[in-house]
Structure 1
Amino acid sequence: MSLKWKCCSYLFLLALLAFTGCTTNEARLLNLTPEAVSTDQNQFPPGSRLDDLALGGITPQEAKEKIQSWSKDKLEENLFLVYNETEIQFTPEELGITLDFERTWENLSENTGKQTHSVLAINDLMANQVLQEKLAEFSRSAVDATFKVENDQFKITPATSGEAVNVDAFLAEVKKASLGDLPRRIPITSVEIPATVTTESLKALAFDGVIGEYTTKYNAGDKNRTANLIAAAQKMDKVLLKPGESFSFNGTIGPRTAETGFKDAYIVINNEYVKGIGGGICQVSSTLYNAALLANLSIVERHPHAVVVAYIPLGQDATVNYPTLDLKLRNDSSSYIYFRTKVEAGNLTIKIYGKKTGAKVRFEKEIEKELSYHTIRKIDPDLLPGAVIQEQSGSKGYIVKTWKIVTDAQGKETKQLLSRDSYAPTNRILKIGAD
């Protein structure tokens, strides 16, 4: 077309716009260039399409009304979600899918005479809620791994993963489509929901054998003391400690009273053996202390006896007195710790289960000083004149240092000072008949 002809055509168009009352500025506001404006009073030119909707030859107002009617029909059409060969019917409108009219009209206005695509808007919250309800039967919750201790073994029930419909992937796919090419059948996938407590995490926490064991002997003929040993040992039997958790002997055994099942037996007061409620319980705490040392557990609180006790080596005892003196341990390992106690045939045995590391523990001692005992004579009017009976044998006192030496699986040794303990002598007590 010649330049002269183009100029004549443009002048003719301007004249036409003036005649129809539409100015060039108004045409620009409608996003219609002179080339796009039809000679039939501001109509969309031939070839203007929105998805599968023809809009050529109609005015913008007519186009808007046609698009609104068309989109309403489209949004009410039945679609199908396909999940594992099961079809679930729904409409786009039910899912909160609407036509983004503003962006759609903008696309159309910028591409008159051509085919353009509609733009969808999705209410994600509404879509998620509706889809979860419609597809609830296809979801399965994850089941955490659990464990129980059976026959002194850590037994795990494995975790099972859950399954949920992949709503996010579905919405992402829909957002890429236009209203005209929204698929009638939409496949939907699932996602795995992992368990919060996995089988692997419990395996890492599982104990696999005895890591500390200690036995002390007692006089089974002393019925009350034996009863106290049994009562205390039973209260801490099968205790399970998580990594980082602490154990309190007093907190576990509780008050030593007749109401809680404890009996009178010999205890040490002012360096003398006298009858007192709960006698023998310190043997349980001392046995536990040694088992804990051999298991290489952390000792948070421990106190020595005032005098030497016969059932345990020097520096390895642990006295308790409710509620002031306690024995406290902490599980600083990466696995569960499990206690087992056994009282029979004059032997008290405590085993501590944990995860074996190959480490070995032994003790070293140094006696700094020996302290001689004194003999105390008491007149007993019930004895014959000149008669002498030993009521309590004397024993020396000591100041002793105790070390724990740990040898790891690679043979490396670590030496730790456990304590420097002072034990007072136990007086020798003689009962003498009056002259």
Structure 2
Amino acid sequence: MRKRQIFVAAAVALFLGAPLIVRGEQEMAAGKEQEKTILDGIYLESVDLSGMTREEAAEAADRRMKEITGYQIKLWMDDQSVSVSAAELGVSGKNEETIAQAAAIGQAGNVIKRYKVKKDLEEEPIQLPLSNQVDEQAVRTALETYCSPLNREAKDYGLTRENGKFQVQNGERGVTLKLEDSVPLVADYLENQWQDGIGNVELAVEITEPRGSREELSRVKDLLGQGSTDYSSSSAARATNITNGTATLNGRVLYPGDSISVCNSMMPFTEENGYELAPSYANGTTVESFGGGICQVSTTLYLAVLRAELEVTERHNHSMIVGYVKPSMDAAIAEGSKDFQFRNNLDAPVYIEGYAAGGSLGFAIYGEEYRPENRSVTYESETLETIEPDTELTADPELGFGVTQMTQSPHTGYRAKLWKVVTEDGKEVSREEVNSSTYLMSPTKYKVGVKTDNMEASNAMYAAIASNDLNKVYEVTKQY
């Protein structure tokens, strides 16, 4: 009876312990699976994974990706390039699945099948690819940071003139990055084409060809028109403004159909741009402003443009007469209100040469002469009306009795026209009105002292001032 009890107890114990035994065997199997190493002859790209555990293979893959993302990728925009690391272009790698695939090779099947896989690897190793992933937002940021600064505008063929001879300056193509087209282009290259080492990608760009050519500019050889004025009596500040303004126009080439804004070419009229305070006209008076005197530059160029017979598209006269040209021969400019603009209406380029030195200001326009030798053009100023300046007197209680101070110089007013006169073989064949101009009269202004305790004298002086007659002021002063 006791033996039977022992047997039953043992059977129960065996039955209850069976799951523990099975689970223990499973855990041992899993541990062995985890400890399995990758077979010899298996590579992840160029990394030899032979004998590595999954964890070791993952670390090796990370090291390789770090090496790869350090390589420089040359991004090309036409003939320019900039090097950017693959990391900055958003290249990264997630190779867990590939490593799992490497670890599974030769681990399944019976002994014979596994042995065959090992022998095959000895003869022909397996190379698994690294998985490159690219963040397109990182690509976009890199292109904006490194490539957008390489954008450049086209530079037209130009001219310089030294010692009376023209030299052609080569043009340069303009290049603009096409960002939206370049982002997927770079991403595709990095994911599907790039293997290793330094990479090269041609970005999508817009090319703008320069205008002109050596052949076209060789046509510029003849003097078409010139003009000059004198500024020797100018202050140093006004002379500086004239020199600066002339320099902005000297050397300009206008191709057929081109227009130029003289005001915009010389702006901004600021101290930072080299201009100084000097007298200028504003609302019928003389004021100090940066760039004062700059209108003499536009006026002198106007004379050359007229004689070259280019098309004037905008021109304004001064509010008051100027002393360096005859009426209607001026061209005033003022930021925001007045401009001098003209257009090259010829079929060949023209070149503007300007100089300002020693009190002499001049412009010459060169191109290809198209007018017959027996033809000449001149311009005549006709004064239609002259308006003599008035006198304006203002009482000043701070000045001594009868003391006078001029506060504004007079300007005679005019109405005038400019005529274009064409002659052939010395005979006038046409006379055409170019412009009509009106110049304001500006009165002579004086302050007159009325400081006195003599009421009779004060009343007499105020009456003289009200008459705006300076002679009456002198009479009252003499009387009292």
The two structures have a TM-score, normalised by structure 2, of 0.48
**Alignment counterpart, residue 415 of structure 2, candidates 393, 399, 412:** 399
Distance 1:262 1:201, change over 3 A: closer
Which of residues 228, 235, 242 is equivalent to 2:241?
Answer: 228
Is residue 374 of structure 1 aligned with residue 386 of structure 2? no
Between the aligned partners of 1:353 and 1:267, the Cα distance in structure 2 is 31
Matched, 1:210 2:223: yes
The one of 355, 376, 384 equivalent to 1:360 is 376
Give the residue type in structure 2 aligned to 1:417.
Answer: E
Q: CA deviation at 1:322?
A: 1.2
Unmatched 5+ stretches in structure 2 = 1-156, 171-210, 452-480
Unpaired segments ≥5 residues, structure 1:
1-145, 159-195
Q: Is residue 2:460 matched to residue 1:429? A: no
- 1:402/1:267 CA distance change after superposition, 3 Å: same
Q: Aligned partners of 1:313, 1:156: CA distance in 2, in Å?
A: 37
Deviation of residue 406 (structure 1)?
2.9
After TM superposition, the structure 1 stretch with the greater mean CA deviation from structure 2, 211-220 or 229-238, is 211-220
Alpha-carbon contact 1:308-1:424 (below 8 Å) kept: yes
Is the CA contact 1:341–1:351 (under 8 Å) kept in the aligned structure 2? Answer: yes
- Aligned partner of 1:52 in structure 2 is none
Flag the 1:328–1:199 CA change in 2: closer, same or farther, 3 A.
Answer: closer
Aligned to 1:346: 359
> Which of 262, 267, 273 is 2:286 aligned to?
273
- 1:295 corresponds to: 308
Identity of aligned pairs, percent? 29
Does the CA contact (< 8 Å) of 1:282 and 1:320 recur in 2? yes
Aligned residues between the structures: 251
The one of 157, 160, 173 aligned to 1:149: 160
Structure 2 counterpart SS, 1:366? strand
User: What do the CA deviations read for 1:388-416 (whole angstroms, capped 9, x no partner)?
Assistant: 23333323211112111233689673332
- Which residue of the partner structure matches residue 245 of structure 1? 258
Secondary structure of 1:225's counterpart equals helix
Give the SS at the match of 2:237: helix
The 3 A distance-change label for structure 1 pair 382 and 263 is farther
Deviates more, 1:390-399 or 1:251-260: 390-399
The residue aligned with 2:22 is: none
Deviation at 1:294, TM superposition (A): 1.0
CA deviation string 1:148-170 (max 9, x = no partner): 43425345699xxxxxxxxxxxx
User: What secondary structure is seen at the aligned counterpart in 2 of 1:434?
Assistant: strand
Three-state SS of the structure 1 residue aligned to 2:318 is coil
CA pair 199-375 structure 1, distance change in 2 beyond 3 A: closer
Given that residues 368 and 399 in structure 1 are in contact (C-alpha distance below 8 angstroms), is that contact kept between their aligned partners in structure 2?
yes
Deviations 1:310-331 (A, max 9, x none): 1111001111011331100111
CA distance in 2 between counterparts of 1:428 and 1:385 reads: 20
Report deviation, 1:197: 8.3
1:389 to 399, 405, 412: 405
Amino acid at match of 1:149: T
Distance 2:411 2:265 in 1: 33
Q: Secondary structure at the match of 1:305?
A: coil
Partner of 2:462: none
Q: Counterpart in 2 of 1:333?
A: 346
Q: How big is the shift at 1:215? A: 1.2
Following the alignment from structure 1 to structure 2, what is the Cα–Cα distance between the partners of residues 276 and 331?
Answer: 32
Pick closer, same or farther for the CA change 1:412–1:198 going to 2, 3 Å. Answer: farther
User: Contact between 1:293 and 1:361, CA under 8 Å: does it hold in 2?
Assistant: no
The answer on whether the counterparts of 2:216 and 2:348 sit within 8 Å (CA) in structure 1 is no
Give the 5 Å matches for 1:11-90.
none
Greater helix share, 1 or 2? 2
Residue 320 of structure 2: aligned partner: 307
Amino acid at match of 2:449: G
Matched, 1:258 2:271: yes
**Structure 1 length-normalised TM:** 0.53
Mapped contact 2:159–2:253 kept (Cα < 8 A): no
Classify the secondary structure of the residue corresponding to 2:338.
coil
Matched residue type, 2:388:
S
Are 2:435 and 1:419 aligned?
yes
Aligned CA distance change for structure 1 residues 238 and 382 (closer, same or farther; 3 Å)? farther
TM-superposition CA deviations, 1:16-75 (whole Å, max 9, x none): xxxxxxxxxxxxxxxxxxxxxxxxxxxxxxxxxxxxxxxxxxxxxxxxxxxxxxxxxxxx
